[in-house]
């Protein structure tokens, strides 16, 4: 769809709220929109609504630092995120929308023997799953990122790194808009400014959702929210083992390209990448207390500036342009919760911690299959809610970009 007479057509349309849909997806982020897209495209379910209480991509999908990777710690995690990277590789062609995926490589620095051991562990698990990762030494790191201070005299000397060539960055808004446009083209209704105020359950099964614009009858509801995952699930009477923490990030003024690798330091609680526009994007670990606040703090700015300068002292004159926060729903094992719940027809795709954006495509594909068939596909079988009762946890803390 191109410009006609100098006017660009709307990428997605507005609709009156339907009184019933075959499925209602709560949350217009990359997970909800991708699920709607694959539901319509792969399963022929088009009478579907995506609801967002604000505008699409206004939550975690527009607040993350756009890093993609699959160098996780557990075989289940590696397989899952590898499928997401593969879907991202073809997403621009698939959606006919430039999502600007730059596979520039991803470095996780090790500053002590314990981290180096975990990097070796992740490398071996990655290789067994066919994912390209290796541990490299400071000289190889310096060749990839000349601005890094790899000298042995620093407070936390760099001993090595987990190098993951398929990792990189993508234009996060474009991913949201591309999925929205694709879902709309298949007939999905996207309703912004539509807040869910209740979920109707009768005799153990979902019958509809209440919104600020009226009631919708539906037999299938997906909770694809972040930040509000527990509040929405509570409406259906399903409690989630999730705690919500803010995660802050910041961006600098643009400068000439000098950094074409993503750099992460768990010890220094920081990750850095440079966008195609030249800005540096910085992120930290989650704030140390549970909260729904999305305000930036001076503590974060001071901390991140100090830590970035320990890694790249030459950046001391860079100016920060803005900072923001997003909400991260943390589970006890740092893996997501995906699949059915004890309420028939009520499904969840929640608990993404700090990993949610990068999982958008694979989650959409897998949740679409789950909603269409009622059965989670093998790729998400390990992430069910029942694992907390059965004690089958999928411990992914060691693969967090930074310490939590």
List residues near ligand PYC by CB under 6 A.
65, 67, 69, 271, 283, 354-355, 401
The minimum distance between CB 103 and ligand PYC, in angstroms, equals 14
Given the complex with ligand PYC, which of 111 and 164 has the nearer CB atom? 164
The minimum distance between CB 65 and ligand PYC, in angstroms, equals 5
**Which residue number is nearest to ligand PYC in terms of Cβ?**
401
The minimum distance between CB 4 and ligand PYC, in angstroms, equals 40
The minimum distance between CB 335 and ligand PYC, in angstroms, equals 12
Given the complex with ligand PYC, which of 45 and 286 has the nearer CB atom? 286
The minimum distance between CB 353 and ligand PYC, in angstroms, equals 8
Given the complex with ligand PYC, which of 183 and 284 has the nearer CB atom? 284
The minimum distance between CB 305 and ligand PYC, in angstroms, equals 18
Given the complex with ligand PYC, which of 335 and 370 has the nearer CB atom? 335
- What is the Cα–Cα distance from 196 to 194, expressed in whole angstroms? 7
Other Cβ atoms within 10 Å of 347 Cβ, number: 27
Given the complex with ligand PYC, which of 339 and 356 has the nearer CB atom? 356
The minimum distance between CB 286 and ligand PYC, in angstroms, equals 9
Pairing between strand 106-110 and 160-164? antiparallel
The minimum distance between CB 276 and ligand PYC, in angstroms, equals 18
- What is the Cα–Cα distance from 105 to 110, expressed in whole angstroms? 16
The minimum distance between CB 272 and ligand PYC, in angstroms, equals 11
Per-residue HEC secondary structure of the chain comes to CCCECCECCCCCCCCCCCCECCEEEECCCHHHHHHHHHHHHHHCCCCEEEECCCCCCCCHHHCCCCEECCCCCCHHHHHHHHHHHHHHHCHHHHHCCCCCCECCCEEEEECCHHHHHHHHHHHHHHHHCCCCCEEECHHHHHHHCCCCCCCCCCCCCCCEEEEECCCEECCHHHHHHHHHHHHHHCCCEEECCCCEEEEEEECCEEEEEEECCEEEECCCEEECCCCCHHHHHHHCCCCCCCEEEEEEEEEECCCCCCCCCEEEECCCCEEEEECCCCCEEEEEEECCCCCCCCCCCHHHHHHHHHHHHHHCHHHCCCCEEEEEEEEEEECCCCCCEEEECCCECEEEEECCCCCCHHHHHHHHHHHHHHHHHCCCCHHHHHHCCCHHHHCCCCCCHHHCCCCC
Given the complex with ligand PYC, which of 71 and 211 has the nearer CB atom? 71
Given the complex with ligand PYC, which of 33 and 401 has the nearer CB atom? 401
The minimum distance between CB 243 and ligand PYC, in angstroms, equals 17
Given the complex with ligand PYC, which of 50 and 170 has the nearer CB atom? 170
The minimum distance between CB 249 and ligand PYC, in angstroms, equals 8
Given the complex with ligand PYC, which of 215 and 404 has the nearer CB atom? 404
- What is the Cα–Cα distance from 118 to 97, expressed in whole angstroms? 37
* Closest C-alpha among 47, 278, 261, 286 to residue 169: 261
Residues 6+ apart with CB under 8 A from 225: 26, 27, 29, 32, 59, 232, 350
């Amino acid at each position: 769809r191109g410009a006609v007479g100098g006017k660009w057509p709307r990428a997605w349309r507005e609709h009156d709220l339907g009184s019933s849909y075959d499925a209602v997806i709560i949350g217009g982020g990359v997970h909800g929109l991708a699920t709607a897209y694959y539901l319509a495209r792969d399963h022929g379910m088009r009478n579907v609504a995506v609801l967002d209480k604000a505008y699409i991509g206004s939550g975690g999908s527009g607040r993350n630092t756009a890093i993609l990777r699959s160098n996780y710690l557990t075989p289940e995690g590696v397989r899952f995120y590898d499928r997401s990277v593969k879907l991202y590789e073809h997403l621009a062609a698939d959606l006919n929308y430039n999502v600007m995926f730059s596979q520039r490589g991803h470095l996780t620095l090790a500053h002590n023997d314990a981290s180096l051991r975990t990097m070796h562990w992740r490398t071996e698990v990655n290789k067994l799953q066919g994912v390209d990762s290796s541990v490299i030494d400071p000289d190889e790191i310096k060749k990839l990122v000349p601005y890094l201070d790899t000298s042995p005299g620093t407070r936390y000397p760099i001993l090595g790194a987990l190098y993951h060539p398929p990792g990189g960055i993508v234009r996060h808004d474009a991913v949201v808009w591309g999925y929205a446009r694709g879902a709309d083209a298949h007939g999905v209704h996207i309703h912004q400014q539509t807040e869910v105020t209740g979920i109707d359950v009768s005799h153990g099964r979902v019958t509809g959702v209440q919104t600020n614009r009226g009631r919708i009858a539906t037999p299938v509801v997906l909770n694809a929210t972040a930040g509000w995952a527990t509040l929405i699930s509570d409406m259906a009477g399903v409690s989630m083992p999730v705690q919500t923490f803010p995660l802050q990030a910041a961006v600098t003024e643009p400068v000439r390209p000098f950094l074409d690798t993503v750099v992460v330091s768990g010890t220094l609680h920081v990750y850095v990448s440079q966008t195609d526009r030249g800005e540096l994007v910085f992120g930290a670990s989650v704030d140390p207390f549970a909260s729904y606040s999305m305000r930036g703090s001076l503590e974060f700015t001071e901390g991140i500036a100090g830590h970035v300068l320990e890694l790249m002292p030459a950046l001391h004159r860079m100016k920060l342009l803005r900072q923001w926060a997003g909400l991260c729903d943390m589970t006890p094992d740092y893996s997501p919760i995906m699949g059915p719940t004890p309420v028939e027809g009520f499904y969840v795709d929640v608990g993404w911690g700090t990993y949610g954006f990068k999982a958008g495509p694979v989650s959409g594909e897998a949740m679409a299959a789950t909603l269409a068939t009622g059965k989670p596909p093998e790729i998400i079988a390990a992430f069910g809610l029942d694992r907390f009762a059965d004690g089958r946890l999928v411990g992914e803390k060691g693969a967090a970009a930074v310490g939590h």
